[in-house]
Amino acid sequence: MELRVYLAGQIHDDWRDTVKQKADEKGVQAKFVHPQENHSRSDDVGEDILGPQPNKEIKDDKASSINNFRTKLLMERSDAVIIYFGENYKQWNTAMDAGIAIQAGKPTILIRDENLIHPLKELSNQATVTVETIDQAIDVLGYVYE
């Protein structure tokens, strides 16, 4: 059995590569899907598909619609969602994806550092499992196969 896992979180660093590497190292069979990681592509997809837009607000709205379509499709087809809250970037999209996954009843693993316990306490309370490291998240996935 191979799990399909959606990786929700910011797209500004390589944390997803770390998840994939750790899963390989621990023999966890999973296919990982995620938001568009090319930031320019994500920002420009509305105009790339629909053509030039009259202003930045409409450009962002069109891109958001297409990005939300992609996220919804990939998340709905996933068996579980790993939600990663790092410290270096604003996490608005991560919080939105977490809410969607929890509301959809997806099994969720929330990764948050110890210093984010208080700001994420309500979200953590709604997640299926909350951990502090990527290694712990992979160990939770690995436990499925025992």
In-domain check, residue 85: yes
Total count of domains within the chain? 1
Alpha-carbon dihedral 86, 88, 94, 98, rounded to 10 degrees: 30
In-domain check, residue 14: yes
Q: Mind listing the pLDDT tens digit for each residue in 46-72?
A: 999 999 999 999 999 999 999 999 999
Report, in angstroms and rounded to the nearest whole number, the Rg of the chain calculated over CA atoms: 16
Q: What is the pLDDT of residue 89?
A: 66
Q: Mind listing the pLDDT tens digit for each residue in 70-94?
A: 999 999 999 999 999 987 766 888 9
Round to whole Å and give the CA distance between 76 and 97. 11
Cβ pair 85, 7 in contact under 8 A: no
In-domain check, residue 48: no
Identify the H or E element spanning 81.
strand 80-85
Token representation of residue 129: 């499992």
Cut 0.85: pTM above it: yes
- The residue segments making up the domain with residue 17 are 3-35+77-145
Q: What is the CATH number of the domain that holds 89?
A: 3.40.50.450
In-domain check, residue 139: yes
